[in-house]
Structure 1
Amino acid sequence: MSSQKTRYGISHVVSCRALGVSQSWFYKWKDRIGGAAPTGREQRRARLDAGIGRLFAASGGTYGSPRITRDLHELGWRVSQNTVAARMAELGLAGRAPKKRRSLTRPGKRSAAPDLVGRKFTAVAADV
């Protein structure tokens, strides 16, 4: 849009209207490109990502978002578990899943015990 103003004399107002963007967005974008400084939100997100990465590495890659959220709260962060989970997903960090409970009896491993008594379980009618 800036080049249109210098090259053709088209004002920012007309350019913004033609492109369907607000003038405030254009000026915000223009100011941002000039300094290229990250916003406060981006700075906080970068610090949060560093904290999450540090805690995840300290846990040996086992902690998930609930535990890391608790640790961040202890360090003074005000952040929700959903935010930590989203940031971890974006960083590609996943905690170790809890082990599945193992049953002592495993179907299919052993054959059924032989019926030494010779019981008959057939009924002559229903409910008899």
Structure 2
Amino acid sequence: MWIKRSTKRTAAQAERRTGADHRGAAKSRGLLREGERSMNEMYAFIEAEKTTHGVAFLRRLLKVARSSFYAWLAAAKPRAARQAADEALAHEITVIHVASPNTYGIPRVHAELRRLGRPVNRKRVARLMRERGIQGAHRRRRRSLTRPDATIRPAPDLIGRDFHADRPGTRLVGDITCLPTAEGWLYLACWLDLATREVVGYAMAGHHRASLVIDALRMAHGRAGLQPGCITHSDRGSEYTSAEFRRVISD
């Protein structure tokens, strides 16, 4: 009687526990089905819940092959070792990137690692930097603001590569650049004296027409006192080859 009674109690307990297992596992299975879950996540779930529900029950519930689960389990240590190695390498990459400062991209980070005696694969460096959002500084391609006028014959190059002057006010070089401001993009025209290496004339406006470089040239004349025969050197942009600019410098 004692054995029979005990057996019935154990069966009842087992039935209640099985029902609880089914409810708990069904709830967990519902969580697993929220979106597409990878096999690795399912294996990790079985490993985490095996003490509560048992491996065999969870495998059947999730329709996971026994051999596949234990193969994944056997590879856990090597996988953890790879993850630890990736974390260590990612730390070195971060240090190199911050020391650059924050300018090195994949090629230069990879070259620096090799210089430090770390012969790592470039694709691995690229993957770790991509996963952690580490990016190098990209040099912006400079676009010329000035556009040549095909209908006008450009002036001859009187300077060549000799960017020197013996006296102030005899040789000027000019250019236009754009600057971001709170009012939007503004254009800055400057004239540099090759003798003093100083900006002797400048003008800023919301356009880059010929009047902009003319205003800067007039400031240069007022400040530096340009000498007769002074050479103004620039690119062949339409602002500098315009009839308006030619008329001003010939007066």
By how many angstroms is 1:65 displaced?
0.7
1:39 is matched by which residue type in structure 2? A
1:114 is matched by which residue type in structure 2? A
RMSD over aligned Cα atoms = 3.4
With the length of structure 2 as denominator, give the TM-score of the two structures: 0.35
1:71 is matched by which residue type in structure 2? E
By how many angstroms is 1:79 displaced?
2.3
**Change in CA separation of 1:103 and 1:50 when aligned onto 2, cut-off 3 Å:** same
**2:121 counterpart residue number:** 80
2:209 aligned to 110, 114, 117, which one? 110
Count, aligned residues? 106
By how many angstroms is 1:91 displaced?
1.4
1:21 is matched by which residue type in structure 2? V
1:50 aligned to 91, 97, 105, which one? 91
- Tell me which moved more, 51-60 or 95-104: 95-104
Counterpart CA distance in 2 for 1:26 and 1:58 is 44
SS in 2 for 1:56: helix
Counterpart CA distance in 2 for 1:92 and 1:69 is 16
**2:193 counterpart residue number:** none
2:62 aligned to 14, 19, 24, which one? 19
Structure 1 residue ranges without an equivalent (≥5): 6-10, 116-128
Larger RCO: 1 or 2 (CA < 8 Å, sep 6+): 1
**2:170 counterpart residue number:** none
Percent identity over the alignment is: 32
Structure 2 residue ranges without an equivalent (≥5): 1-45, 149-206, 211-237, 245-251
With the length of structure 1 as denominator, give the TM-score of the two structures: 0.62
By how many angstroms is 1:88 displaced?
1.3
